[in-house]
Chain A
Amino acid sequence: MDMLSALAQGFAVAITPTNLALALFGCFVGTLIGALPGLGPVNGVAILIPLAFSLGLEPTSALIMLSCIYYGCMYGGRISSIMLNIPGDEPAIMTTLDGYPMAQAGKASEALAISAVASFVGATFATIGLTLFAPLLAKAAIYFGPADYFALYVMAFATIGGITSVNPFKTLLAAFIGLMIATVGLDPATGTARYTLGSFHLYDGFDPIVAIVGLFAISEVLVYLERVHEGEAKMVPLGRALPRFKDMMAGGWANFRGSVIGFVCGILPGAGASLGAFMSYIAEQRWSAKDGKFGQGDPRGIAAPEAGNNAASGGALIPMLTLGVPGSGTTAVMLALLISLNIQPGPLLFDRQPELVWGLIAALYLANVALLIMNIPMIGLFTRMLSMPQWVLMPFVVMVSFLGVYSIGHSTFDLFVMVGFGVMGYILRMLGISLVPVILGLLLGADMENNLRRALSISNGDFQILFSSPIALALYAITATMLGLAFLLAFRARRRNPAAAG
């Protein structure tokens, strides 16, 4: 009961005309920022912090506006994934797998609607989780050690081969390319420079977002140039402008399964939204393996990762608020924001500044509803993008990519890196190698290595530590079962239909 009255008070704080207006503004701007490739929640929130200060907002109002931008970005990231096959931010990469094929088939508005509903379900699920169990769940984060995180990443990599419908060997190859790219930079434990060619710019390795924009956006432009040269114009059939209600719900239970998995990944500070989206997709694919058309525009393939990444971003607020431990780049910025408002997150935040915390939580509920309402009519606007001729769209993509990437580190070096990745992406596409696993390898590889190194530093180099925690053992068991099952199914399919399995 305490909680409900606290939440009611939170709503009282959040629902003032000014705060509501700020929330709407935040949702709108956030969606735009999220949709632009390169500009993600990290830059979005960082760019707008000075605005909050120069408007002289109260701490609660500033926090409400910026959290709405945060949630808005998570909603927006999917839009360019679906429409252009270019992820707006890191967690949105999984949405390209089924979202883009669906848009290609003339069902762009349905895909956008399904993902909007999934985002809503995921984010609301996480916000409810945050309301009810925040202090309790923070404890779970404490007992998850480096060896356990390593086991979690092993699980992710063991299942990576199955994410695309094409040749699993090519997918694995792509993941290993990503892993190799992840080794560039300072060795996390000893500070030794690896493959940096003496350049300070490579000390931190390759920024995943720069790699994403290069691999997807720039290579898309290169592919387009080639097509124009060959005179091969491709028109995407325009579907309906607004989806039917029935089509919006096509995600079905995948929304909820994705939410649960994403939320669990979110509350673990070492995991985060990208892993949440990935795990949700993988699990959904396994769950509905028999009748699924994953990779060719299955609605569940959109719903699961979108619900997953939004639930994870909501869940990531739990360790951020209760422990002061940011689970991702964006929560790190939110943490910085709290600190610059003279609010110290940590174990005492809920006791000391309840009106602020509950005001924030109430604002998140409002942001979710506002985003859903705002996003459904906006679908018409975004689908019109497809009717734009490509020769208009592509220069725009190039411009936004360069601008977005430059805004991250204010470094021209990043632009060269982006173009380099663009060329690499073009070559990989020509070879029929999927780009998503490359990014997954890069994104997850660095964290996997960090946690392996930490575990081994703790044990003084003894590998037994990797198998000595019950959590890690349970994760390995699940991984082994999943792999075993996959081989069994493949074996059966081959026996039943030897011609198809080649």
Chain B
Amino acid sequence: MRKLSKLFGAAVVWTSLSVAGAAAAECIAPADPGGGWDFTCRTIGKMLFDQKLVDAPVQVTNMPGGVGAVAYADVMSSRADDAELMVATSTVGVTQIAQGKYPADTSVMRWVAMLGTDVGVIVVPKDSDFETLDDLVAALKDDPSALAVAGSSGAGGWDHIRLLMLAQAAGLSGDEYKQIRWVQFDGGSPAVTQMIGGQVQAVSTDLGEIAGFVESGDIRILAALSDDRIPAFPDSPTAKEQGLDVTGYNWRGFYTGGEVSDDGYNAWVERLQKLYDTDDWKETAKANGLVPVWRGGDEFEAYVKDQSDQMRKISQEIGVIK
């Protein structure tokens, strides 16, 4: 009995210690445990500590809701000057901002850096009739509603937009590509397994989560939405090579509150840049299907603003927003 209460006491002390440690550095993952943003916080947080770039382990806080909108509103209203805080985000978050689904635009935050990017791909089952991207596009041109395509986002999300950008580049009109059937699943792997089971004919999503299925030969990449071929899969052609000038990256990075001092902001940029320069990060990135790419500080600020503007334009063109 006494032993039990001692153990329990130890657990309580440990928990409160880890909460107290939050004063050191905190990373908010604006999603449930297990998602991509959670992964970003946990991996980067762990590596920052391993590389001794922070003094104490980085505390990861999950704040799910509204595809990141809840965390965005929280930081904006109550933690805008907290220099020990960073929040994980990605192209998916910027897409939401561009479509007005967050409480404010990109200007209310300070954008720290991106450390890597996932690459969008169009995949089909191994025994699919579609051999090239052309085959798929031709089928869509013939009858846009002939195919059901799946991805990890709802209609109007980044996975869907990337597919529509391809359709647009291939010359389908707005009325035509709106007829393409889009099916949402809770992630890339569920979408791919349902595709293998014959429920849908193609999947548009990030490569990272589904790379195992490509390696095992269950699915084929019809097109990589990147400038160059993906190092891990040099045999898979890009959309550009096949005549459709579309790229669709999903970068992983961080923002911090809009009223954080220059010193606080620069400290984060510097820490993350040091982390980016390690071999450790390059290996971790590769193991998780990410391509290491660095943009930090002012350059990243400008990049995010630019991307948000572009995304708004695309979303209007393809009719996701007015």
Which residues from chain A sit less than 8 Å from chain B, CB to CB?
28-29, 32, 42-43, 45-47, 49-51, 53-54, 141-146, 186-191, 200-201, 203-204, 269, 319, 323-326, 329, 332-333, 335-336, 339-340, 342, 344-349, 381, 408-411, 450, 453-454, 457-458, 460
Contact = CB atoms under 8 A, between A and B. Distances in A.
Interface in B179-227: 181-187, 189-190, 193-194, 196-200, 209-213, 215-216, 218
Given A324-B209, A454-B183, A458-B148, A200 B200 contact: no
A53 B46 contact: yes
Interface in B12-48: 14-15, 18, 32-35, 38-39, 42-43, 46
B33 A340 contact: no
Contacts of B213: 346-347
Given A325-B193, A347-B218, A46 B156 contact: no
A50 B60 contact: yes
Instruction: Classify chain B's interface size.
Output: 35 or more
Contacts of B184: 188-189, 453-454, 457
Contacts of A346: 189, 211-213, 216
A191 B199 contact: no
B118 to A, nearest CB: 13
Contact of B212 (A45, A50, A332, A347): A347
A453 B198 CA distance: 17
A182 to B, nearest CB: 16
A126 B74 CA distance: 42
B243 interface: no
B124 to A, nearest CB: 15
Given A32-B11, A344-B211, A381-B4, A203 B70 contact: yes
Contact of A457 (B39, B70, B182): B182
A329 B33 CA distance: 8
B62 A410 contact: yes
Contacts of A187: 154
B62 A340 contact: no
Contacts, number: 162
Contacts of B310: none
A460 B145 contact: yes
B199 A329 contact: no
Given A200-B69, A323-B189, A146 B194 contact: yes
B63 interface: yes
Given A43-B33, A49-B42, A348-B215, 10 more contacts: A50-B18, A146-B183, A189-B155, A191-B157, A200-B103, A326-B187, A332-B34, A336-B34, A453-B184, A457-B181
Contacts of B174: none
A411 B194 contact: no
Contacts of A339: 39, 288
A42 B185 contact: no
Contacts of A186: 66, 154
